[in-house]
Structure formats: C-alpha cells, structure tokens
Structure 1
Amino acid sequence: LPYFYNTNNLVNKIKNQLSKNLNFNFAINNDFTYNFFPKPNFVFKETKFYDDKKNFADVERIKIYISPKYLFSLDNIKIDDVILNNVNFNLNNKNYNFFTKLLNNNFSNFNFEINDSKIFYRNIDNDVLFINSVNQLKYYFDLKDQKNTLLANCEIFNLPYTIELKDDINEKKIISKLNFEFLNLKVINEYSKKNSNKKGSIKFIHNKNISEGKYEIEKNLFNFNYLDKSLDSNFKYEGMINFIPFFSEISGDVNKINLNQVLNSDSILVQLFKTELLNNKNLNIDTIIKAKKIAPYNDLINLVLNLKIEEGLVDINNTKFSWSDNVDFQISNSLIYVKDNNLVLDGNIIIEIYDIYEIYKYFKTPRNYRKEIKKIKLNFAYNFDQKITTLNSIEIDGLMNQKVNQIL
C-alpha cells in the first residue's frame, strides 16, 4: 500500500466513488487488505449496502480493483472493477427491481460482479417468499450493441437458469432473455420504461413452439393476456397477479385442446409440475380453461378445467367435460403430486349418464348386457410418465360392485 495513503481518506474516497458509480450507499470499515498483484486491489470485509438508510445487503467480501495509472494519486484514484462474494440481499416490494435499476449506471468504465450469493425476496411481514441463488452475476458495457448488460447464472428452487438483461437507452426499454435449458424453454421479454405503468411483451419458446403475450404492471398488480400459437387452434387467456399478498386468477378459452400435448410426459406443463416449483406454500393460483372440443377424441366436448394451487397443493377439483350430450364427467378430491419421480393425478370422478342406450350403441354392447345405469362414481390415478390409469372403488347407482373392484 502506498505509504502516503491516509487510511480514512482512502476508505472515504473508495466509498464515495462506489456510491457514485452504483447509485446506492455503502458502509465500509477500515478492515481491509491490499494486494499489488496481479493488479492493484483492496479487499474489504463485512460491508453493508443501504437504501433509504435501510440495510438491504450484507457482503462478506468485496474486492475493488483500481487503475495502476492512478495508483499513487489518491485524488485521482479510479475504480476499474468491483467483485462481491457471499452477499445476502434482502429485497421486498419496495426494492425488488434493484438489479434492473443498476443497469441505469455507467458500466463503460468499470465492471461489477457478484458471486456465490443469495437473494431473499420477502413479503410485507418480512417472511421469505423464495430464495434466488446467484452463482455468478456480472454487469458490463457491451461494445457490440452499445448497451449496459447483466449476465447471470442462477438457481431458484434448485432449478438452474441463465438470464441476460440489456438496457436500451434509445428505445427506453429493458430486454431480457431467460433460459431454462433443462426444460428446453426460453423466455424473451421486453418492457417499456417510458411510463410509470410498465407495459411489455413476452415470448415463450419451447422446442420450436412459440407463445406470445402482453402485460401491464401497475403498483402491486400484474395484468396480462397470452396467445399460444403452438396448439392446433390459437389458445388465448388472460389474468391478473396480485403480488402482496400473492394470488392469481387466470381464465382462458380455446376452440380445441389436444390432450396428447397436455398429458405428454415431455410437455412443459408436466415437467413444470415435476419440478414441484408450484408446490410453494406462498402460491395461490386459480385457473379456469374452457375448451369446446377435446382432441383426439371427437366425442369429448365442453371442457372446463379448474386448476387450483393453494398452500403447496395442486388440484383440478370441479373440472368438467362431456361425452356428446349423453354423459357428463366431474372430478373431485383430486391431487397432482410427484411419487418416485413420476407425476401422478389422483382423484374421484362422478359420471352422470343421460342416455345409456346411446353408449351401448357406440360400444356395440350385446342387448342381454344392456342395463339401465344413471350414475357411476369411481376413484382413479393417472401416471403421466408411465401413461397408466388405475381405477378402483367403483360405485354404480349407489351400489358398490365387488366383482368389478376385485378384477381391478
């Protein structure tokens, strides 16, 4: 360390320059070490970040590289790079956009990097909603497209992903690219910074299938509409998400839904359920999807899919569909869960039959086996991965059929 540096002056100089470069306040103590190789740098321990006089991040170790050109001039000392290690960030509804706001700074003169850290997102009661682990995150100025850029390698709920954010100053918008490689899913998002109410567009790319949506964020509310072009006929739905407290309502309409795509073990929906990401107890989501036709079964019609996520449990209770005009099906006491790495749907079905003889005609049932049946109740379990359905506890018109149940 140059002998003529005054420790207090040095710390204040670095602190002021960091605050100016990153636009938030630091609490740096005098406990630091100095290294000349491979490039002059100072290492500070137990640093804190402040926003509106509130501590929102604790840094175990911060390394600050300075330009050798100004090494012997305290007045002209210049920070080249800043690397943070083992940081615990605490974000809430007031500072949730901290990492996006950092893109407003000038990174053409220095790089900012965060390693081996965690981001705790908290609700209004300071309870942790979820934790995002940061393996590596870097801010820099991309010389090719002349934009401030954030590039990060992270994990959320033990799910790895990468994200790239770019600040388009001319268009006044943020462009992000999110990649879940294990799901073969990419999410491209653009939102405008021109107004206080943020409006944006989002695109989902799964294999070669593309879905698009538009949204608006107003204070604590997120409104959106979505168009899935990958299905046989365009699938549209809209909804709202309230952030604090967190709950969501989504509704959708489609002319025809293909069960082969929905139930396929490789579908993005099945893979998402298997991650158990949706079993978070802080999620409360109500979704209603209506479809006039159900492919590939021509006689199945009028699907009303009720998907509910509450306190870590996922069910499709009160889901209904019909077979022509002759039979109505309704699901109850259902649960979607993972067992032995297989996704399973368990539940009860009530089958209301209006014209049993039309069913007998369809299946060409011999006349001596045709009996009047009005209602059937049964329990079922469907394994998405093995494509196997098991039936039990069959009740016909209020009577349990022991012979059928023994066979099953």
Structure 2
Amino acid sequence: MRAVAALLGALLVLPGTALSAAPDCTQGLLERLGWRFASAAVAVPDVHGGPVCTREDLRQAHAQGDLRATLPRDWKPAERAEFMQRLLDDPASVCAYAMRVGEAARRAARALESNPGYRFSGLQLGWIGFGARGAQAQGWQRTRSLGRGYQPAASNSQALATFYTGKVRSECGVGRQVAQLATQRELHGDASFDTAFDHDELGIGTFLGLHDTDSILLGAHAGELFADGKAVRTSAMGRQAFMGAPGYITHALGRETLDDLNNQAENFIVVDVGAEAADALRRHGGFGWYDQRNRELWELSRQLPRRGVRFFERLLADQDPSLRASLTDDEAALVARMDGVLDDPFYRQFLIFVHPRGIKPIGFHVARLLDRNPRTPFTVELTVHNLHTTLYRRWQQAQLRHCAATGMPGSLTSDSGPGGDAVRGSSTQR
C-alpha cells in the first residue's frame, strides 16, 4: 500500500538514515524553497531565516536578506547532512513552503470556480451528486450510504479532475474538502499526487464521516493538527501562514434565528492575504476583533429596510449606484457607517474560495449573509489543519524520493504540474 510507502518515506528522512545521507537532495530541496548557501572559514553556521511569512513572495524575501546560510567550509558530509535536515523544519523553511501552498491553492481555486459543471447541491441522489454518469464513471467509489462518502476509485488526480471539468453537485463543506485536496494535487503534480496518498486518505463527504476514515485531512492519517480558531497565532506569523488554510463563516446566534439553512455557514480555504490585511490582522490579534465588527454591521443593517432580493449584497458588495441613489438621507448615513467598517483591509484583501461563489474577498460574504440570515451576525473561524505538519512532511518525502530516483537535486515533482504543463504561480490579490 502507498500508506506503507509513505511510512517508509518518513523513516528515510529522519537524521542518520540512508536518505538523509544524500545531502545534495536535501540541499537542492532547500534551494528550491529559496535558501541560498555559502561556505566560509567559520566555526558554526550563520543562519538568517528571516520573517518569511510576512513577505509577499520569495523575491521580496531575498531583497530583505532572508533565507541565507553560511556554513563552515571544513564541515564533514555527515555534519552538513544533519544541518540540512534540521533546516527543513526551520520556521523560515515552513513559510517558504507556505508560499508554494498559496500558489497551489490559487491554481486549484481558479480551476474549481472556472468549471460551470461544478454546482451547488440541488435535486440529486445523495449528499454528493455525480449526475447521470454516476460516481464510478467519474473516478470515485462510494464508501458510505446516501452518497455521504466517496474516495478515488483509481487515479487520485483523475478523480480530482472531475471537479475541474465534470458535472458534480455538492454543498460548500464538500467544496472546501475538494479545494483542500485539489491544493495538494497542484502542489505535488499528478504523478506524485497519485503515489503519495492512498485512495482512502482522499475521501470526501460529511465532516463527521471523515473522522472515522483514514482521511489525510481529518481522519486517522491526519497526524498532528494545528488548532487556531480565531487565527491569533496565524496572524502573528504573517500572511503566508494563512495560505490554503480551511475555515468557515458561521452564525453567532442560535439556530432558531436562521431563515436560510443553506446559508447557516460558508466553508472556505484562504487563497490570498494582502499586506494591509495581514498588518490589520496582526494588529488586532486575529478574527475576534472582526467578529465584533461583523456584529456592528449586523446592528446597522437592522435599521435599514430591505428592498428587493440581494439588497445588502447589491448595496455593499456591488455598490449598486441606482440602489444607493434611492436611499433617504438617514439611510445613506447608515450605509456610510457600514462602508466605513467594510473599508478595513481585512474585508477587502482577505481572499477566500467558497463553493459555489468562487474566489472573493471575505467582505462580500459578510454582506451577502446579511440578506440570507438577517436575524444573526456571523463569526469567522479557522478549522484544524495539518498543512505545516503532516502534509508538509508528506511533501518533503515525495520530493526527496523524487530526487533519489532521478538523481536530480533541486527538481520537484510539481515541475510539470497537473497535465504536464509548466507551473508558474501568481497571486490573485495585487
């Protein structure tokens, strides 16, 4: 099984084992992450990782002098190998990897939002609807009754490609799972994605059901999970620490206040965070401060009579000029206060992917939920994830195995990308 191979891979990257004795592979991987190495007549290494998670990209990190290490010229190979292995787990390395996760998350989200065949739940047989062709024909096999759980039937990458080009229906929770797995596909490239994960590690379905499986996201194979619901630690680390992270926007008051159960929550992954938004989050200590601003918006919205459908979405997100022209002076004053709240960089530059809305700033979702469930404010949470723990180690192992097999230090499994095309990541928020 591939899971056994992954376990063996984990053993191979431990210090003192066979693979760690090939420092060229480890150094090549570090150099692809952005590290620059030099040798000098020094007794101990001089390492400057820098606050990489606060940078926009590697170019900015290098311009600020990050990711530099000067090593003793007379080091023995074993000493160099041990140092390189330790450096893979340095916070600066994790943040450089997080930049790659961000690029992968943006590619995945753009592919998912560009598929008109991937739609929200409707009239369908089961929790996830694979249409007339059925799940098996589109690369998935059922693992739970009533369509509540599926896993890839053969090729992992082909199964995920169904959500890029096929006809599927699901609610936003499954959409988040698909986006998380698609991010891994983009990060690894198809060949590695097919071999680095077992089929049962890539299950999709109800969140509760995933806990009873080998899901790499939430099940037995998830490993060490990072919990930071209000993003206090993530905000302190910097913008890159958010990349690809899963979360949700949910109602603050009880279920009895809900008018639209389909919009009681919105599940998302983070695809980009602007510099000003990152500064604001760090300054305010995460999402808690913005939960209070969401309540302030909600209290102001309660004083405005709604006109037609999507009133607040058109008024606040679309800035509909005709709708704004119809406001009374008192209403315009209230809207000006709401505009002032939403002008915070967090609402404008914190970009999330939500199925089926695609990639939008979080302020759009806060505005539209004022229409869908006007009797409750909403709060924002990150959910537990293993992007920087288990999934980072899996990615490391895949790259080191690839190097050992090809004899090409510095080459990555994703260099060809899904479908064999060259990968060049770019941000959606600039």
Indicate the structure with greater helix content.
2
* Same fold per superposition (TM over 0.5): no
Structure 1 or 2: more strand by fraction: 1
Question: Under TM normalisation by the shorter chain, which class is it?
Answer: under 0.3
Q: Which structure is higher in RCO with an 8 Å CA cutoff and minimum separation 6?
A: 2
TM-score, length of structure 1 as denominator length: 0.24
Pick the structure with greater CA Rg: 1
